[in-house]
Amino acid sequence: MKYLVRDKIFAIGDDYWIEDEEGRHAFLVDGKALRLRDTLELKDPDGHVLITLRQKMFSLRDAMTIERDERPLAIVRRKRLSLLRNHYRVTLVEGTELDVSGRILDREFTVEYEGELLAHISRQWFHVRETYAVNVVREDADAALLVAVAVCVIRMAERERED
């Protein structure tokens, strides 16, 4: 299933819809303004919070936490000792690790688990510059989590570029 993301605005406090292949609203990314740390909520079309993304405070390396039901689900960090600058690791609370690598700022990257492709993020399917797709490859994969991972690593890479 492909999810269409228009990321022309990524400022805190701005909200935007992520649509499915049929153009229906699938997720709302709700940026929370006036917070001490970067916070985004991924909501379903009815407004229920599915996932919360938070900038990790007091971390030696830039990191963001992914929470579900107000409990930690995963931590996203840029991978240390990687030859690729755009390589991130998502560590889920039960110990599972997802690898995210590719050209993050160009919106051309993959999310894998033990070498198996879970999602492919790409602009190649669109002619509009500010649009990319999160193609969730496995039907049994957690689409909300994979969309959140894509949004999270893009946000982290953009923040790193600004610094």
List of the chain residues with pLDDT < 70: 7-13, 33-37, 56-61, 80-85, 125-129, 163
The reported pLDDT for the residue numbered 155 is 85
SS3 101: strand
- 8 Å CB contact between 94 and 75: no
**How many helices (H) and strands (E) are present in the chain, helices listed first?**
1, 12
Angle, CA of 129, 131 and 133, to the nearest 5°: 135
Token pair 């599972």 is found at 96
Q: What is the dihedral of CA 139, 78, 96, 50, to 10 degrees?
A: -50
Q: Which two tokens stand for residue 28?
A: 């709302």
Of 29, 4, 28, 25, the C-alpha closest to 155 is 29
Q: Which two tokens stand for residue 22?
A: 């049929």
Q: Rounded distance, CA 153 to CA 141, Å? A: 18
In eight-state DSSP terms, residue 79 is: P
The reported pLDDT for the residue numbered 123 is 87
SS3 113: strand
Q: Which two tokens stand for residue 149?
A: 């991972």
What single-letter amino acid sits at 11? A
In eight-state DSSP terms, residue 1 is: -
For 51-64, how does the pLDDT look when each residue is reduced to its tens digit (9 = 90+)?
A: 999 986 655 567 89
pTM: 0.87
What single-letter amino acid sits at 25? H
The reported pLDDT for the residue numbered 34 is 47
Distances, alpha carbon 18 to alpha carbons 15, 27, 44, 113, 131, in Å: 10, 5, 10, 24, 10
